[in-house]
Amino acid sequence: MTNRRPSYIRAHESGELARKIKTAYSILEECRLCPRRCGVNRMAGGKGVCRVGRQPVVSSFMPHFGEEAPLVGHYGSGAIFLTYCNLKCLFCQNYDISHLGHGEEVSTRELAEMMAALQRRGCHNINFVTPTHQVPQILEAVSLAVDMGLEIPLVYNCGGYEAVETIRLLEGIFDIYMPDFKYGDDEAAKRLSNAPDYVGIARAAIKEMHHQVGDLVMDGRGIAVRGLLLRHLVLPEGLAGTKEVMSFIAGEISPDTYVNIMDQYRPCYKAYDNPPMDRRITGEEFDEAVRVATDEGLRRLDGISA
């Protein structure tokens, strides 16, 4: 536990969370929850690009020890893997969940009980993995979980392809945002994730996230309690546009942004049919990405000493 009270508890007590739940569900009636803006009536069972209707769909939940150190701490991050995704990354390493739909439809009460169970196991936070398309359901479940005693921070762990309208709705609910910033070039985003407008949308969403929570703050144990944590996966032959991404973060967000430059790319799903995505990155490619970040003035790189 931390001494800092998560913001969603105040929102619940004031009635603000209830108002946000009502607004979020109204968005589902002609869905514009994410930048796809499918327009289907998910409240009536319609399904758009994300293939999720009215009820939440969950693949698994567990204490997760593979996340960044400020989230994992001693007892793990309480990860809830939500099924499907609003991005269509042809190289997704969780494609069985995001593309193939591994998971089960659950009630919002069951989702709340997952949160409470993860807290009882000592997790330092509740980490919603791929939450974008299930925001109303998450908000409703959070309200129920507060009544079950939930009092640890919430993490919004997303792909960066977010509608600013939705992110603004989440102000005062999520204390920690952890988006990917996948691409610095829209052509790569179109080819690899079917998101031809990714760059501008991700930039606007990340700016709003930082406006709400600021740079990452940790307690005396080094465990995150509030703020923005950004991820960037290095891709073969510079396809991720690392220089453009790092320049934006340092210049328009903050040089004190906590950034995880990730080296774990491996070919998955349809990557083998799309060179150069059919190979791992080289050590030289990763080192160049880190050099670019430091040259741009970023000072807080996960796992990398200054």
Q: Are 243 and 292 in contact (CB under 8 A)?
A: yes
In a domain, 168, yes or no: yes
In a domain, 52, yes or no: no
In a domain, 306, yes or no: no
- Residue 165 pLDDT class (50, 70, 90 cuts): very high
236 pLDDT above the threshold of 90: yes
In a domain, 241, yes or no: yes
Amino acid, single-letter form, for residue 53: G
Could you tell me what percent of the chain has a pLDDT over 90?
97
3 pLDDT above the threshold of 90: no
Instruction: Identify any residues that bridge with 80 across adjacent strands, giving them in sequence order.
Output: 61, 128
Q: Are 301 and 283 in contact (CB under 8 A)?
A: no
Q: Are 46 and 40 in contact (CB under 8 A)?
A: yes
In a domain, 117, yes or no: yes
What is the domain count for the chain?
A: 1
pLDDT in tens, 56-90: 999 999 999 999 999 999 999 999 999 999 999 99
In a domain, 51, yes or no: no
pLDDT in tens, 136-164: 999 999 999 999 999 999 999 999 999 99
DSSP string, 98-128: HTT--SEE--HHHHHHHHHHHHHTT-SSEEE
Q: Find all residues with CB under 8 Å of 41, minimum gap 6, and list them.
A: 28, 29, 30, 31
Half-sphere exposure of 277 (CA within 13 A, CB side): 20
In a domain, 48, yes or no: no
Average of per-residue pLDDT values in the chain: 97
305 pLDDT above the threshold of 70: no
As a whole number, mean pLDDT of residues 18-40 equals 98
CATH number, domain with residue 231: 3.20.20.70
**Residue/partner pairs of 80-83 with CB below 8 Å, 24 or more apart:** 80/111, 80/114, 80/115, 80/118, 80/126, 80/127, 80/128, 80/129, 81/129, 81/130, 82/56, 82/57, 82/58, 82/128, 82/129, 82/130, 82/131, 82/133, 82/134, 83/52, 83/57, 83/58, 83/59
pLDDT in tens, 171-201: 999 999 999 999 999 999 999 999 999 999 9
In a domain, 45, yes or no: no
| Domain span at 194 | 7-40+57-301
